[in-house]
Amino acid sequence: MNARSDWRMTKMRQLGVCATLALSFGSVFAAPEWEDPAVNSINRLPARTYSMPLSEESDALTAALEPATPWKKLLNGDWKISWAGNPELRVKDFWKVGFDDSTWETIDVPSCVETRGFGSPGYTNVRYPHKDCSNPKDANFARILDRQSGKADYNPVSSYRTTFEVPENWTGRDIILRFDGVYSAYYVWVNGEKVGYAEDSKLPSEFDITAHVKPGRNLLAVEVYRWCDGSYLEDQDMFRFSGIFRDVSIWAKPKDGIWDFEVRTTLTDDLKTAALALAGIPGAWSATLYDAAKNPVARLSDGSASAVLSNPSVWSAENPYLYTLVVRKGDDIRMKRVGFKSQKVAGNAFVLNGKKIKLKGVNRHEADPADGRTVSLETMVKDVELMKRHNINTVRMGHYPNDYRWYDLCDRYGLYLVAEANVEGHEPAYGENGLGRIPEWKKSIVERNERNVVFYRNNPSVTLWSLGNETGHGNNFRAAISAIRALDPSRPIHWERGNIDADVDSCMYPSVEWVVARGKLGDLPRESPETIKIWPTEDQSPGKPAFLCEYAHAMGNAVGNLAEYWEAIYSHDALMGGCIWDWVDQALWKETGRVDPKTGKPERFFAYGGDWDEQPNDGPFCCNGVVLPTREVSAKLVEVAHVYRNLIVRKASDGSLSLENRFGFTSADAFDGEWELVADGKTVARGAFAVPAVAPLSRGALAWPAIDRAAVAEGAECFVNFIFKTRTATDLVPAGWIVARTQIDAGGAWRFADVSPAEDATADGVKIAEDARTVTVQAGPTKAVFCRKTGTLARLEMKGRTILKDAAPGLTAGPRLTCMRAFTDNDIWMRAKFFDSGLTQLRYHPEPVVVEGHAIKTAVKVTGSKSAGFRHETVWTFAPDGSVVLANTATPFGTFPPAIPRLGLTWILDKDLQEVAYYGRGPYENYIDRRTASLLGEWRTTVDGLSEEYVRPQDNGCRTDVRWVSFADSTGAGVRFAASQPLFVQASRYAAEDLEFSRHRNGQQRFRSPLVPRDGIHVNLDVLQTGLGGGSCGPAPMEKYTIKVPQTLAWNVRMAPL
């Protein structure tokens, strides 16, 4: 077909050939195009696979992501802009050739205008940023009205102008203008002539401008509306931006050249034969398929449009082998990289290239802290690199099509994509007002899905089609499913709101227990009458694969219970895997108006919903990433990498070892193996081992390494760490990169019983002096001063080094029983009830300090503002070597909340004790339900090094299973703590109160109290901890990781001088 479309016919089709509507730009409509759901575009060319004309066939055989061509020209750069918050105040004749824009401001394209000072960004999850007029029963149906006032005076318009020149050698060709992404609706003029109109902000739009351009300089004018009727289908959980946020280009093709083509690939079940077919090109054409070594392996033409390959190299995320297809039609030469991959539902399982592959994924928004929705190629590559290095094999495009280069990157480097259409009408919800049931939205829903498929069906990384997100299901989506199957029957369809009509079931944020039950349901025959639900509209079917499209809500300090999810997933074929919500925190840089004393540059911080006083907003609910906005590796990502790993060592009850290979297509012996022997936390031996050739998706025997036990003290707690590394480098993963680790118990046990009260010391070894205010103990190099008023230590010196000291009367540094933490975003399930219990307001009421022999007894009644509290008794015994043992007993009383976050002793150590060493899990932050990636060992860091950054400050920096921990100054002097059971240890320059009340939460007006380091180091030595779970949007921690109303608890702590 001719790529140039007659806009009058297009308009007639869009409007259902409504005879009452005049077909001209000057006609008067009941509503402008940007408030008319019947009009999605004017003069927009059909969707097509991305390809550009090339000069020579050899240009296609390049290692570059995109081949060089003289037939494409980027129009990115500095453009002129005028911005108005009210459409009526926009500059209405700016598109005219003679218009004077000399007083206009300049903006870089691509960019989001809100990140360049025009208007403000706004974050909302479910609610539209404008009034909800999505129902045709509303007299203002599809209009854009201010949410607060109901007036039509708030829909910012950005008017752009730039000039460009068409290369002289493009004469005689069709000239196409391409916008890769504009939010959300826009009109286009070239040289003062209206070219067209488009919506659907996340897919490209192209216009034929051949008749509008001229030799020399040309004027391009674009009028962009922040919101339009299409915005009712773009209600994704994200910052709302506007403007030309992706590339703008022009390109030229021969008059009778190629517009689009469809690449169809099939594989036999044994993967030994592949078929390639090419369709969609009218007239005479030919094509050649080249392998990765640039050898031609197949030829096709209009007379023979298919070819068969024997023993093809297949594409998978593990080995993303790409062929290069070069298509020729006359002078038009095009290139597309091709991968042979099959994916289907077989029985109750999802099967990829004949294997039951698990999708180990994340959801990904396009997000950049400086540029908003505008994401550079470098950042895209960084995302892929981090994913490949951390065992992520799947990305759900949550919740819209991405920049076209993202798909090409995933083709090249190997990621499975759940390719989602730009459809979400969340606020109208899922019932009778759901947009999937309203006929007026059918055209847009179907068209957005069709265009998504046509643009990206030739990309082998696309593995599932997804119809959108969180929109009420109905006939509109059934029509979309039919349309997708007609365009591409080779890929299963995912639709989390309409499981009954989709190829796979889907679910959001279930508990581990639900996942186990769903796995069992999947084991049943299809005809089984049983069913299971998580929410009323999410029916699950027996014998059908299930995909967790969103789970493990990674908001703030999060990703608890991840190992349990995957233990369940690997227990049932029907469980395909899932995608964590989500990849990167969507926070944005915002300046404070101050100078940063560290950099000398403007001070800035990560801002989130509400920081621009926008209404509505959902606070920090946009900060759900496993990485920070700036893409640093986080403790969450390390845990994800460990749980998602594909080589796992297991120890049987008889002591034998086995190796499980979870790769789908890679033998285990493709990797190098190393082992380490750890004894009482120290690595005492290491070596290499030959990884056995365990086939993909199977298990095999693994031998213990030859360990010289003579190097290990008798009874020492021993572990063997098995480490698997890449043998050869790939583009993004270097040789020697650790892909998996497992720590195996190798005998022995830590001597917790050693932490017991010292035997009664002699009078010469321990001296005690009393006065009206204090009790002072001198035990060898240790001097301890107890304050009778506080009932605990007021000063502690060891070897002449101050360990702690009350800063002033009433500012207690000695140990106190505490149970609060700076609540994480995922603690929302227990925070309110904990506050209601009064336990945030602890007060300490000491009984008299008692001296019995050479022991000190203290007892403190710890009360909240209501009935709940504790009686904390401690017996302090001192040894001549300066060590001190605290025998603690904590007895609760009163009415407790359903759960408490922690229980332990809080100390305030001297500020110079910054050097930290410990034997426990590390080196990254870990919690009781997020610690599988953290191996037991001896680790060294600093107090600041223990901390973990989160956009909204909250509890962080914990280390679990700690046998001992020491705090020292730069000379090595300090204190070491150990306990009668494993400790949960935290140390910070900030108190829990500082973190808890530093930034606003969801539902609060914005506030920001910059964190100011305290004079002392706040140390928690805890014996109980509630896990992280995923309660910010999903289940609370599992029962086994939750502290219920505590019983009387007894434990000992030993401290000794360094």
Domain 73-253 part of CATH 1.10.3720.10: no
Pairing outcome for strands 306-310 and 296-301: unpaired
Q: Which two tokens stand for residue 633?
A: 């590796």
Note whether 499 and 539 are within 8 A (CB).
Answer: yes
Per-residue pLDDT, 760: 52
As a residue count, the chain comes to 1058
Of 271, 267, 263, the C-alpha closest to 289 is 263
CA dist 183 to 217, 244, 398, 462, 612, Å? 27, 7, 17, 24, 20
**pLDDT tens string 670-691:** 999 999 999 999 999 999 999 9
pLDDT at residue 1047 tops 80: yes
168 is annotated as an active-site residue? no
**Bridge partners of residue 783, in order along the sequence:** 778, 797
Per-residue pLDDT, 713: 86
Determine the Cα–Cα distance for residues 734 and 389; give it in Å rounded to an integer: 9
The mean pLDDT of 691-720, rounded to a whole number, is: 92
pLDDT band at 603 (very low <50, low <70, confident <90, very high): very high
Q: What is the dotted CATH code of the domain comprising 766-1057?
A: 2.70.98.10
Per-residue pLDDT, 282: 97
Superfamily of domain 646-749: Immunoglobulins (2.60.40.10)
- 463: number of CA atoms within 13 Å, CB side? 30
The mean pLDDT of 318-330, rounded to a whole number, is: 98
The mean pLDDT of 604-621, rounded to a whole number, is: 96
pLDDT band at 755 (very low <50, low <70, confident <90, very high): confident
Per-residue pLDDT, 757: 75
Q: Which two tokens stand for residue 485?
A: 């199957």
Determine the Cα–Cα distance for residues 242 and 256; give it in Å rounded to an integer: 36
**pLDDT tens string 838-897:** 999 999 999 999 999 889 999 999 999 999 999 999 999 999 999 999 999 999 999 999
User: Of 54-68, 269-283, 706-720, which gets the smallest average pLDDT?
Assistant: 706-720
1039 is annotated as an active-site residue? no
Per-residue pLDDT, 695: 98
Instruction: Tell me how far the alpha carbon of residue 179 is from its chain's centroid.
Output: 27
DSSP string, 149-215: T--S----EEEEEEEEE--GGGTTSEEEEEES-EESEEEEEETTEEEEEE--TTS-EEEE-TTT--S
Tally of CB atoms within 10 A around 1007: 12
Per-residue pLDDT, 31: 87
Q: Residue ranges per domain, the chain?
A: 73-253, 262-338, 353-580, 646-749, 766-1057
Note whether 737 and 726 are within 8 A (CB).
Answer: yes
pLDDT band at 619 (very low <50, low <70, confident <90, very high): very high
Sheet holding 416-420, edge to edge: 493-494, 462-466, 416-420, 394-396, 359-363, 575-580, 546-551, 505-508
Report helix angle 562-569 to 635-643, nearest 10.
20
The mean pLDDT of 492-498, rounded to a whole number, is: 96
User: In CATH, what is the architecture of 353-580?
Assistant: Alpha-Beta Barrel (3.20)
Active site residue: 450, 550, 614, 797, which one? 550
pLDDT at residue 392 tops 80: yes
pLDDT at residue 18 tops 60: no
Note whether 878 and 758 are within 8 A (CB).
Answer: yes
- Those residues with Cβ within 8 angstroms of residue 805's Cβ, 6 or more apart along the chain or in another chain: 794, 795, 796, 813, 910
Active site residue: 450, 470, 564, 797, which one? 470
Q: Which residue pairs, CB below 8 angstroms and at least 24 apart, start in 759-765?
A: 760/853, 760/854, 761/854, 761/877, 761/878, 761/879, 761/880, 762/880, 763/854, 764/880, 765/879, 765/880
Tokens 């060089």 belong to 68
**pLDDT tens string 761-772:** 455 789 999 999
- Those residues with Cβ within 8 angstroms of residue 653's Cβ, 6 or more apart along the chain or in another chain: none
Of 142, 164, 168, 166, the C-alpha closest to 155 is 142
User: Of 108-122, 545-559, 562-576, 741-755, which gets the smallest average pLDDT?
Assistant: 741-755
Q: What is the mean pLDDT of the chain?
A: 94
pLDDT at residue 394 tops 80: yes
Share of the chain above pLDDT 90, in %: 92
**Topology agreement, domain 646-749 and domain 766-1057:** no
Q: Which two tokens stand for residue 7?
A: 């806009």
For residue 372, what is the DSSP state?
Answer: B
DSSP string, 302-323: TTB-EEEEESPPPB-SSSB--E
Note whether 97 and 192 are within 8 A (CB).
Answer: yes
CATH class of 262-338: mainly beta
pLDDT band at 26 (very low <50, low <70, confident <90, very high): very low
pLDDT at residue 534 tops 60: no
**pLDDT tens string 901-929:** 999 999 999 999 999 999 999 999 999 99
CA dist 614 to 81, 130, 623, 748, Å? 23, 11, 17, 59
Q: Which two tokens stand for residue 839?
A: 């336990």
Per-residue pLDDT, 310: 97
Determine the Cα–Cα distance for residues 775 and 888; give it in Å rounded to an integer: 19
Per-residue pLDDT, 854: 83
Determine the Cα–Cα distance for residues 608 and 618; give it in Å rounded to an integer: 9
The mean pLDDT of 957-971, rounded to a whole number, is: 98
The mean pLDDT of 6-22, rounded to a whole number, is: 35
